[in-house]
Chains A and B, each alone.
Chain A
Protein backbone atom coordinates (compact mmCIF):
# COMPACT_ATOMS: atom_id res chain seq x y z
CA UNK A 1 0.00 0.00 0.00
CA UNK A 2 1.18 3.48 -0.78
CA UNK A 3 0.84 5.35 2.42
CA UNK A 4 0.15 9.01 1.92
CA UNK A 5 1.36 11.36 4.59
CA UNK A 6 -0.74 13.86 6.46
CA UNK A 7 -0.89 17.41 5.11
CA UNK A 8 0.63 20.30 7.02
CA UNK A 9 -2.84 21.49 7.90
CA UNK A 10 -3.77 18.14 9.46
CA UNK A 11 -0.59 18.19 11.53
CA UNK A 12 -1.27 21.77 12.66
CA UNK A 13 -4.71 20.84 13.92
CA UNK A 14 -3.37 17.65 15.47
CA UNK A 15 -0.63 19.55 17.29
CA UNK A 16 -2.87 22.35 18.51
CA UNK A 17 -6.49 21.33 18.20
CA UNK A 18 -9.06 24.14 18.29
CA UNK A 19 -12.04 24.01 20.65
CA UNK A 20 -10.99 20.90 22.49
CA UNK A 21 -12.78 20.25 25.74
CA UNK A 22 -16.29 20.07 27.20
CA UNK A 23 -19.20 22.49 27.48
CA UNK A 24 -20.86 21.80 30.82
CA UNK A 25 -24.22 23.35 29.91
CA UNK A 26 -24.27 22.20 26.29
CA UNK A 27 -27.64 22.31 24.54
CA UNK A 28 -26.88 19.05 22.78
CA UNK A 29 -24.15 16.45 22.66
CA UNK A 30 -23.45 14.35 19.58
CA UNK A 31 -21.46 11.16 19.72
CA UNK A 32 -20.11 8.84 17.07
CA UNK A 33 -17.71 5.95 16.84
CA UNK A 34 -16.11 3.54 14.44
CA UNK A 35 -16.06 -0.02 15.69
CA UNK A 36 -13.30 -1.02 13.24
CA UNK A 37 -10.63 1.41 14.37
CA UNK A 38 -12.14 1.90 17.81
CA UNK A 39 -12.21 5.67 17.59
CA UNK A 40 -14.83 7.71 19.47
CA UNK A 41 -15.81 11.36 19.14
CA UNK A 42 -18.08 13.63 21.17
CA UNK A 43 -19.25 17.12 20.17
CA UNK A 44 -20.68 19.50 22.76
CA UNK A 45 -22.84 22.18 21.19
CA UNK A 46 -24.35 25.32 22.68
CA UNK A 47 -27.20 26.74 20.62
CA UNK A 48 -28.48 30.26 20.98
CA UNK A 49 -30.57 32.76 19.04
CA UNK A 50 -29.57 36.03 17.46
CA UNK A 51 -30.81 38.35 14.76
CA UNK A 52 -29.20 37.56 11.44
CA UNK A 53 -30.33 39.85 8.60
CA UNK A 54 -33.24 40.97 10.75
CA UNK A 55 -34.41 37.42 11.43
CA UNK A 56 -34.25 35.51 14.72
CA UNK A 57 -31.95 32.61 13.88
CA UNK A 58 -30.69 29.66 15.88
CA UNK A 59 -26.95 29.40 15.64
CA UNK A 60 -24.03 27.53 17.15
CA UNK A 61 -22.76 29.82 19.83
CA UNK A 62 -20.09 27.47 21.05
CA UNK A 63 -18.80 24.02 20.21
CA UNK A 64 -16.17 21.78 21.75
CA UNK A 65 -14.96 18.27 21.07
CA UNK A 66 -13.50 15.26 22.82
CA UNK A 67 -11.89 12.58 20.66
CA UNK A 68 -10.17 9.30 21.20
CA UNK A 69 -8.50 8.50 17.93
CA UNK A 70 -5.85 8.88 15.31
CA UNK A 71 -4.33 12.15 14.15
CA UNK A 72 -6.92 12.43 11.37
CA UNK A 73 -9.75 11.97 13.83
CA UNK A 74 -8.35 14.70 16.08
CA UNK A 75 -7.70 17.07 13.17
CA UNK A 76 -11.16 16.56 11.66
CA UNK A 77 -12.74 17.15 15.08
CA UNK A 78 -10.85 20.39 15.38
CA UNK A 79 -11.69 21.42 11.81
CA UNK A 80 -15.41 20.78 12.11
CA UNK A 81 -15.61 23.00 15.18
CA UNK A 82 -13.92 25.78 13.18
CA UNK A 83 -16.27 25.27 10.25
CA UNK A 84 -19.52 25.49 12.20
CA UNK A 85 -18.82 27.78 15.12
CA UNK A 86 -20.97 30.91 14.85
CA UNK A 87 -22.98 29.47 11.95
CA UNK A 88 -26.79 29.20 11.82
CA UNK A 89 -27.70 25.59 12.54
CA UNK A 90 -29.22 25.02 9.10
CA UNK A 91 -25.97 26.07 7.53
CA UNK A 92 -23.97 23.89 9.91
CA UNK A 93 -26.16 20.96 9.00
CA UNK A 94 -24.97 21.25 5.41
CA UNK A 95 -21.31 20.64 6.23
CA UNK A 96 -20.10 17.45 4.57
CA UNK A 97 -17.17 15.16 5.12
CA UNK A 98 -15.74 16.44 1.86
CA UNK A 99 -15.83 20.01 3.24
CA UNK A 100 -13.76 18.90 6.21
CA UNK A 101 -11.27 16.87 4.19
CA UNK A 102 -10.88 19.74 1.71
CA UNK A 103 -10.36 22.30 4.45
CA UNK A 104 -7.57 20.09 5.76
CA UNK A 105 -5.93 19.93 2.34
CA UNK A 106 -7.05 16.33 1.88
CA UNK A 107 -6.76 13.12 3.87
CA UNK A 108 -5.03 9.85 3.01
CA UNK A 109 -7.65 7.49 1.46
CA UNK A 110 -7.50 5.09 4.38
CA UNK A 111 -8.26 8.00 6.72
CA UNK A 112 -11.30 9.39 4.92
CA UNK A 113 -13.60 7.56 7.31
CA UNK A 114 -12.19 9.66 10.17
CA UNK A 115 -13.93 12.71 8.72
CA UNK A 116 -17.17 10.70 8.66
CA UNK A 117 -16.90 10.44 12.40
CA UNK A 118 -16.99 14.22 12.77
CA UNK A 119 -19.96 14.91 10.46
CA UNK A 120 -21.86 12.02 11.97
CA UNK A 121 -21.49 13.41 15.46
CA UNK A 122 -22.61 16.85 14.24
CA UNK A 123 -25.58 15.65 12.21
CA UNK A 124 -26.74 13.35 14.98
CA UNK A 125 -26.65 16.18 17.48
CA UNK A 126 -28.50 18.65 15.25
CA UNK A 127 -31.13 16.07 14.34
CA UNK A 128 -31.75 15.30 17.96
CA UNK A 129 -32.05 18.99 18.71
CA UNK A 130 -34.58 19.54 15.95
CA UNK A 131 -36.75 16.57 16.94
CA UNK A 132 -36.59 17.52 20.59
CA UNK A 133 -37.84 21.02 19.92
Chain B
Protein backbone atom coordinates (compact mmCIF):
# COMPACT_ATOMS: atom_id res chain seq x y z
CA UNK B 1 0.00 0.00 0.00
CA UNK B 2 1.14 3.53 -0.71
CA UNK B 3 1.36 4.68 2.90
CA UNK B 4 2.11 8.32 2.22
CA UNK B 5 -0.67 8.73 -0.30
CA UNK B 6 -3.09 7.00 2.07
CA UNK B 7 -2.12 9.34 4.88
CA UNK B 8 -2.39 12.32 2.59
CA UNK B 9 -5.95 11.31 1.74
CA UNK B 10 -6.73 11.04 5.44
CA UNK B 11 -5.47 14.58 5.99
CA UNK B 12 -7.56 15.93 3.11
CA UNK B 13 -10.62 13.95 4.13
CA UNK B 14 -10.38 14.70 7.85
CA UNK B 15 -10.33 18.45 7.30
CA UNK B 16 -13.53 18.23 5.30
CA UNK B 17 -15.07 15.71 7.66
CA UNK B 18 -14.50 17.54 10.91
CA UNK B 19 -15.50 20.92 9.50
CA UNK B 20 -18.52 19.26 7.88
CA UNK B 21 -19.38 17.81 11.28
CA UNK B 22 -19.14 21.18 13.02
CA UNK B 23 -21.42 22.71 10.40
CA UNK B 24 -23.85 19.81 10.66
CA UNK B 25 -24.26 20.53 14.37
CA UNK B 26 -25.84 23.84 13.36
CA UNK B 27 -28.48 22.41 11.05
CA UNK B 28 -31.83 23.74 12.25
CA UNK B 29 -30.25 26.29 14.59
CA UNK B 30 -28.99 29.00 12.24
CA UNK B 31 -29.67 32.73 12.69
CA UNK B 32 -32.05 32.72 9.70
CA UNK B 33 -33.50 30.15 7.33
CA UNK B 34 -31.25 31.33 4.52
CA UNK B 35 -28.02 31.01 6.52
CA UNK B 36 -29.21 27.69 7.93
CA UNK B 37 -29.65 26.36 4.42
CA UNK B 38 -26.30 27.76 3.27
CA UNK B 39 -24.34 26.26 6.18
CA UNK B 40 -26.02 22.89 5.65
CA UNK B 41 -25.13 23.10 1.98
CA UNK B 42 -21.49 23.57 2.83
CA UNK B 43 -21.64 20.66 5.23
CA UNK B 44 -23.16 18.53 2.47
CA UNK B 45 -20.44 19.54 0.01
CA UNK B 46 -17.73 18.74 2.53
CA UNK B 47 -19.16 15.31 3.31
CA UNK B 48 -19.40 14.64 -0.41
CA UNK B 49 -15.67 15.34 -0.64
CA UNK B 50 -15.01 13.12 2.36
CA UNK B 51 -16.72 10.24 0.62
CA UNK B 52 -14.60 10.69 -2.51
CA UNK B 53 -11.34 10.83 -0.56
CA UNK B 54 -12.19 7.89 1.67
CA UNK B 55 -13.53 5.70 -1.11
CA UNK B 56 -10.20 6.19 -2.80
CA UNK B 57 -8.32 5.59 0.46
CA UNK B 58 -10.31 2.39 1.01
CA UNK B 59 -9.20 1.10 -2.39
CA UNK B 60 -5.56 1.79 -1.55
CA UNK B 61 -5.89 0.07 1.77
CA UNK B 62 -7.62 -2.94 0.25
CA UNK B 63 -8.83 -5.71 2.55
CA UNK B 64 -12.28 -4.93 3.87
CA UNK B 65 -11.72 -1.18 4.34
CA UNK B 66 -14.66 1.02 3.30
CA UNK B 67 -15.35 4.74 3.32
CA UNK B 68 -17.22 4.12 6.58
CA UNK B 69 -14.55 2.09 8.34
CA UNK B 70 -12.12 4.89 7.56
CA UNK B 71 -14.55 7.64 8.59
CA UNK B 72 -15.95 6.06 11.74
CA UNK B 73 -13.45 3.65 13.21
CA UNK B 74 -10.28 5.59 13.85
CA UNK B 75 -9.27 6.87 17.29
CA UNK B 76 -8.26 10.43 18.23
CA UNK B 77 -4.55 10.03 17.48
CA UNK B 78 -5.27 8.69 14.00
CA UNK B 79 -7.17 11.73 12.78
CA UNK B 80 -5.10 14.26 10.86
CA UNK B 81 -7.23 17.37 10.44
CA UNK B 82 -5.84 20.77 11.33
CA UNK B 83 -6.90 22.08 14.75
CA UNK B 84 -8.78 25.00 13.18
CA UNK B 85 -11.65 22.90 11.84
CA UNK B 86 -12.42 21.21 15.16
CA UNK B 87 -12.93 24.51 17.00
CA UNK B 88 -16.45 24.70 18.43
CA UNK B 89 -19.42 26.72 17.17
CA UNK B 90 -18.93 29.41 19.80
CA UNK B 91 -21.22 31.83 17.97
CA UNK B 92 -21.94 32.81 14.36
CA UNK B 93 -18.85 35.05 14.30
CA UNK B 94 -16.64 32.07 15.13
CA UNK B 95 -18.47 29.91 12.60
CA UNK B 96 -17.90 32.41 9.81
CA UNK B 97 -14.32 33.21 10.76
CA UNK B 98 -13.38 29.54 11.03
CA UNK B 99 -15.04 29.00 7.67
CA UNK B 100 -13.28 31.87 5.94
CA UNK B 101 -9.86 30.95 7.35
CA UNK B 102 -10.36 27.44 6.08
CA UNK B 103 -12.02 28.31 2.75
CA UNK B 104 -9.20 30.61 1.75
CA UNK B 105 -6.71 27.80 2.33
CA UNK B 106 -8.99 25.19 0.78
CA UNK B 107 -9.43 27.19 -2.39
CA UNK B 108 -5.67 27.69 -2.89
CA UNK B 109 -5.06 24.04 -2.08
CA UNK B 110 -7.61 22.77 -4.59
CA UNK B 111 -6.30 25.07 -7.30
CA UNK B 112 -3.01 23.23 -6.99
CA UNK B 113 -4.59 19.79 -6.61
CA UNK B 114 -6.37 20.40 -9.92
CA UNK B 115 -2.85 19.96 -11.37
CA UNK B 116 -2.13 16.80 -9.37
CA UNK B 117 -0.49 13.91 -11.19
CA UNK B 118 -2.72 11.57 -9.26
CA UNK B 119 -5.74 11.08 -11.47
CA UNK B 120 -8.21 10.53 -8.65
CA UNK B 121 -7.10 13.48 -6.55
CA UNK B 122 -7.09 15.57 -9.67
CA UNK B 123 -10.69 14.60 -10.41
CA UNK B 124 -11.86 15.15 -6.84
CA UNK B 125 -10.21 18.59 -6.81
CA UNK B 126 -11.92 19.59 -10.05
CA UNK B 127 -15.29 18.67 -8.64
CA UNK B 128 -14.67 20.18 -5.19
CA UNK B 129 -13.24 23.49 -6.31
CA UNK B 130 -16.58 24.58 -7.75
CA UNK B 131 -18.18 24.04 -4.37
CA UNK B 132 -15.37 25.64 -2.43
CA UNK B 133 -15.43 28.77 -4.60
CA UNK B 134 -18.98 29.21 -3.42
CA UNK B 135 -18.06 28.55 0.22
CA UNK B 136 -15.29 31.10 -0.03
CA UNK B 137 -17.56 33.72 -1.53
CA UNK B 138 -20.14 33.08 1.19
CA UNK B 139 -17.74 33.24 4.14
CA UNK B 140 -15.83 36.23 2.77
CA UNK B 141 -19.05 38.18 2.23
CA UNK B 142 -20.18 37.44 5.77
CA UNK B 143 -16.77 38.46 7.13
CA UNK B 144 -17.36 41.88 5.59
CA UNK B 145 -20.98 42.13 6.66
CA UNK B 146 -20.34 41.28 10.26
CA UNK B 147 -17.12 43.25 10.61
CA UNK B 148 -18.81 46.36 9.22
CA UNK B 149 -22.39 45.81 10.33
CA UNK B 150 -22.96 47.03 13.87
CA UNK B 151 -20.69 47.77 16.81
CA UNK B 152 -21.78 44.50 18.42
CA UNK B 153 -21.09 42.43 15.33
CA UNK B 154 -17.73 44.10 14.89
CA UNK B 155 -16.73 43.23 18.44
CA UNK B 156 -17.83 39.64 18.06
CA UNK B 157 -15.86 39.33 14.85
CA UNK B 158 -12.78 40.79 16.46
CA UNK B 159 -13.07 38.27 19.28
CA UNK B 160 -13.42 35.42 16.78
CA UNK B 161 -10.40 36.57 14.76
CA UNK B 162 -8.33 36.92 17.91
CA UNK B 163 -9.16 33.43 19.04
CA UNK B 164 -8.97 31.63 15.66
CA UNK B 165 -6.10 33.35 13.85
CA UNK B 166 -3.49 31.36 15.83
CA UNK B 167 -4.88 28.18 14.26
CA UNK B 168 -4.24 29.32 10.69
CA UNK B 169 -0.55 28.66 10.37
CA UNK B 170 -0.86 24.91 10.76
CA UNK B 171 -2.88 24.78 7.53
CA UNK B 172 0.03 25.89 5.38
CA UNK B 173 2.89 24.34 7.34
CA UNK B 174 3.88 21.19 5.48
CA UNK B 175 4.59 18.01 7.39
CA UNK B 176 6.55 15.01 6.12
CA UNK B 177 3.60 13.51 4.26
CA UNK B 178 2.75 16.77 2.54
CA UNK B 179 6.37 17.34 1.53
CA UNK B 180 6.63 13.88 0.07
CA UNK B 181 3.37 14.28 -1.83
CA UNK B 182 4.50 17.60 -3.22
CA UNK B 183 7.80 16.06 -4.33
CA UNK B 184 5.94 13.33 -6.15
CA UNK B 185 3.78 15.88 -7.97
CA UNK B 186 0.69 14.60 -6.21
CA UNK B 187 0.26 17.12 -3.41
CA UNK B 188 0.27 20.90 -3.18
CA UNK B 189 3.18 23.21 -2.55
CA UNK B 190 2.20 24.64 0.81
CA UNK B 191 5.07 27.14 0.89
CA UNK B 192 3.70 28.91 -2.16
CA UNK B 193 0.17 28.69 -0.80
CA UNK B 194 1.27 30.22 2.47
CA UNK B 195 2.38 33.55 1.05
CA UNK B 196 -0.78 34.01 -1.02
CA UNK B 197 -2.89 32.83 1.90
CA UNK B 198 -1.62 35.49 4.28
CA UNK B 199 -1.74 38.17 1.62
CA UNK B 200 -5.42 37.40 1.16
CA UNK B 201 -6.37 36.89 4.80
CA UNK B 202 -4.37 39.78 6.24
CA UNK B 203 -5.51 41.96 3.35
CA UNK B 204 -9.15 41.24 4.06
CA UNK B 205 -8.80 41.74 7.80
CA UNK B 206 -7.19 45.14 7.41
CA UNK B 207 -9.72 46.08 4.74
CA UNK B 208 -12.64 45.42 7.03
CA UNK B 209 -11.08 46.91 10.13
CA UNK B 210 -10.16 43.78 12.08
CA UNK B 211 -6.83 43.29 13.84
CA UNK B 212 -4.88 40.09 13.80
CA UNK B 213 -3.30 39.22 17.16
CA UNK B 214 0.04 40.96 17.65
CA UNK B 215 1.81 38.17 19.50
CA UNK B 216 2.30 36.03 16.41
CA UNK B 217 2.04 32.68 18.22
CA UNK B 218 0.46 29.72 16.48
CA UNK B 219 -0.91 26.35 17.54
CA UNK B 220 -0.19 23.09 15.84
CA UNK B 221 -0.58 19.35 16.34
CA UNK B 222 -3.76 18.26 14.58
CA UNK B 223 -2.00 17.03 11.48
CA UNK B 224 0.11 14.74 13.67
CA UNK B 225 -2.98 13.54 15.53
CA UNK B 226 -2.56 15.62 18.65
CA UNK B 227 -5.91 17.36 18.97
CA UNK B 228 -7.66 19.77 21.29
CA UNK B 229 -9.84 18.49 24.12
CA UNK B 230 -12.90 19.04 21.93
CA UNK B 231 -11.95 16.19 19.69
CA UNK B 232 -12.96 13.23 21.82
CA UNK B 233 -16.45 14.69 22.14
CA UNK B 234 -16.71 15.06 18.39
CA UNK B 235 -15.85 11.39 18.00
CA UNK B 236 -18.31 10.32 20.70
CA UNK B 237 -21.10 11.81 18.64
CA UNK B 238 -19.73 10.93 15.27
CA UNK B 239 -18.89 7.30 16.05
CA UNK B 240 -21.75 6.59 18.44
CA UNK B 241 -23.69 4.21 16.19
CA UNK B 242 -20.72 2.38 14.73
CA UNK B 243 -19.20 1.83 18.16
CA UNK B 244 -22.45 0.85 19.87
CA UNK B 245 -23.57 -1.54 17.13
CA UNK B 246 -20.40 -2.87 15.54
CA UNK B 247 -20.38 -4.65 12.17
CA UNK B 248 -23.91 -3.84 11.09
CA UNK B 249 -25.28 -2.47 7.85
CA UNK B 250 -27.27 0.74 7.98
The answer on A and B forming one complex is: no
